[in-house]
Amino acid sequence: MLRASGTHMLLLESRVCDLVLDHAECAAVLDRYQIDYDCTRNDTLYRACVERGLDPLRVRTDCELAVRRAGVSGEDLRAWSTKDLITVVIARHHQYLHATLPYLRTASQWIATRYGHRRPALHQLASVIDALATTMNAHMVEQDGELFPALLAGRRYLAAEATRGFDEHEQARSMLAQMRTLSFDYERPVWACGSYRVFMSELAHFEADILLHLHVEARELWPRYIASA
């Protein structure tokens, strides 16, 4: 991606999916604006903003601020070795999920019990979080025990084998969309206690982490190993 020398100038004509690969820290900004950076889309940053009624210049500025605050020029995942990419997926994402999923399950049940009379959707939210946690745990077991060791050993797999992984991604995305809807976009109402507010903040971070992880897998990791039949 072209930049002005010594700056972090991002281009409105850049594809959103490439922007996240160039600068992983932009993912949180795009999530906040609910801009989809799914690898199956080819929208430019400008087009994605216009379609959502957003000011493209403001969104770009927020992305540039995120890059500057990171203190680096951004993580270009395309330049990483496969070993480093897999190690980062495990170290950053899987460790985070192992630590966070039990908390989200417990907290969602507690909040549904305490505040379900005010917001009945919280009961359904707890069920969705439980189902998503089950899905993600199974996903990690398969990756850590089978997929990643095979990829590191240099085995290429058929495109048909990858279809299941993409289906799992779509299932996770669907549950994340339900989670956002049932939480009213992670709203923290004035009547909520501190635990409720912390839970919603963590839920928003959880969504951003999973979406970035799915993006890295589908956009950068899997294409290295999908072989034609």
Domains of the chain from N-terminus onward? 1-79 (1.10.3910), 80-227 (no CATH)
Look at the block and give the residue holding tokens 């982490």. 209
E-strand stretches of the chain: 157-158, 226-227
Name the more confident of 41 and 55: 55
**Amino acid code (one letter) for 203:** L
Res 1: pLDDT: 34
Is 139 in contact with 167 (CB distance < 8 Å)?
no
Which residues pair with residue 80 across a beta bridge? none
Q: Tell me: the pLDDT tens digits for 55-97? A: 888 888 888 877 766 644 445 667 777 788 787 767 678 888 8
Per the model's pLDDT, the better-predicted residue between 33 and 157 turns out to be 33
Count other Cβ atoms within 10 Å, centred on residue 213. Answer: 23
Q: Name the packing angle between helices 194-216 and 95-115 (round to 10°).
A: 140
The residue with greater pLDDT, 73 or 165, is 165
pLDDT, tens only, 167-195: 777 888 899 999 999 999 888 889 988 88
Model confidence at 158: pLDDT above 60? no
- Nearest alpha-carbon partner for 179 in 135, 122, 134: 122
Q: Which position has the higher pLDDT, 3 or 52?
A: 52
Contacts of 51 (CB under 8 A, 6+ apart): 43
Q: How far is CA 181 from CA 10, 28, 200, in A?
A: 31, 18, 12
Q: How far apart, in Å, are the Cα atoms of 155 and each of 80, 90, 228? A: 19, 19, 13
* DSSP bridge pairs for 227: 158
**Whole-prediction pTM:** 0.66
Question: Is residue 156 pLDDT above 70, yes or no?
Answer: no
What's the confidence (pLDDT) of residue 121? 96
Band (102; pLDDT cuts 50, 70, 90): very high
Q: How far apart are CA 220 and CA 200, in angstroms?
A: 30
207, 31 Cβ separation under 8 angstroms: yes
Give DSSP secondary structure letters for 4-18.
Answer: -TTS-PPPTTSBHHH
Instruction: Please check the confidence at residue 130 and state whether its pLDDT lies above 90.
Output: yes
